[in-house]
Amino acid sequence: MSVNSLSERIAHEITKRIHGGELAPDAHLSTQKLADSFRVSRSPVREALQLLAEKGVLEQRANKGFFVKQGAEVPTSSIDLADHSDAPTSYFRFAEDWLRTQIPSEVTEQFLRDRYELTKAQVLDLLTRAANEGWVERKDGYGWRLIAVAKTPEALEQIYRFRSIIEPAALLEPGFKLDRAVVAEQRRVMEGLLDGNIERLSADRLLFSGVHFHEEIARMSGNPFFLQALVRANRLRRLIDYRTVVDRERFYVQARDQLQMLDFLERGENLECSYFLKQHLREAIVRKTLVHEEIAKKSG
C-alpha cells in the first residue's frame, strides 16, 4: 500500500474517532501516539493530519501541533456509520475462509486476487491489514503465510483466561497512576455508545472501543509489560472476534460495565475494580464461547 493511500486511511479513521466522540473538540492529536495506535511510522500520520487540517476538520497551531477544530463539520462522505464494518467485505471473506480452513496456510497475492476478484492494490491492502492484526506474515521467499492464531472457541477461551489474570493484576501494580484525562475521554465514549452510537457505529468501530478501553487501563499500570502482553492477546483474538461483533446487545452490557470500572478507579478503589474486571472477563468468555459453538454447529 502506498504512503498516500495509507495516509488517507489514517485520516478516514481519525474522522470516525471524532464523529464517535473518542476525540473531543479542541483535543490535541499526538503524532507519536497515533503512530503507535496505527502501528505505523509518524510520516503517514503527519500527512493524514495535514490533510484533515486542509479539510477544516483539524486546526494546526504554530509550535503546538494539531487539534480537533471547534464546531468542525466532519465530512460525512468519508465516514460510514451504517451497519457495516470499516474493513471491506473481501477481508471478512478472507478471514472466514481461514477460520474454516478453506484456504491453504501459504498463499500468493495472485491466488487472493483470483479468489476474491481483487486488484493488486486491494490484495496488498488486505494483507497489510491482516499482518497488522497478527494473523498473516510475509514469507522469507515468495508469498504469505497464514498464522494459526485463535481459530477455535478453545483458543479464544485461553486468551480470555490469560487476560483475566494480567488485566486485574495491572490495576494493583504499585506504579499504577490514574490518568484523569483518559478516564474522562473513556467516560465520554462509553456514554456516547449508550446514547445511540451502539446502533449507529460500524461493527469494527464497536470492537475497537472495547479493545481501546482495556489497553488504556493497562497503560496506567506503569508497567509496560502488561500493556505489551494485552496488545498481543488482543491482536490474536481479533480474527475470531469478527464473528461476534454483530451482536450489538452485548455492547450495552460492556459499556455499562466499563463505566462502573471508571467509577471504581476515580474513587481509588482499584482492588474492587480488579475483582469487577475479572468477573467481567469471565462472563464475556462464556457469552463468546456459546456464540462460537453455535457458529461452528451451523457451519459444520
Pair 235, 266 in one domain: yes
Pair 286, 179 in one domain: yes
Pair 128, 241 in one domain: no
Q: Which domain holds residue 162?
A: 153-299
C-alpha to C-alpha distance for 269 and 263, rounded to whole angstroms: 9
Q: Of 224, 227, 222, whose CA–CA distance to 211 is shortest?
A: 227
| Residue linked to cell 497475492 | 109
One digit per residue, pLDDT tens: the chain, 300 residues?
A: 344 566 777 887 788 777 666 777 888 999 988 887 776 778 888 888 998 888 888 999 988 899 998 765 554 444 333 333 456 678 888 988 888 889 999 999 999 999 999 998 889 888 888 887 778 888 887 899 998 766 677 777 888 999 999 999 999 999 999 999 899 989 999 999 999 988 888 777 788 888 889 999 999 999 999 998 998 888 777 776 666 555 688 889 999 999 999 999 999 999 999 999 999 999 887 777 666 666 556 555
Residue 254 resides in a domain: yes
Instruction: Encode pLDDT of 174-230 as tens digits.
Output: 999 999 989 998 999 999 999 998 888 877 778 888 888 999 999 999 999 999 899
Pair 190, 73 in one domain: no
250, amino acid identity: R
Pair 180, 217 in one domain: yes
Instruction: Encode pLDDT of 34-54 as tens digits.
Output: 887 776 778 888 888 998 888
| Residue linked to cell 490474536 | 236
Q: Are 275 and 168 in contact (CB under 8 A)?
A: yes
Pair 290, 256 in one domain: yes
Q: Are 60 and 66 in contact (CB under 8 A)?
A: yes
Query: Given the DSSP bridges, would you call strands 144-146 and 136-138 parallel, antiparallel or unpaired?
Result: antiparallel
User: At which of 128, 146, 164 does a domain end?
Assistant: 146
Residue 101 resides in a domain: yes
User: Domain of 13: which CATH number?
Assistant: 1.10.10.10
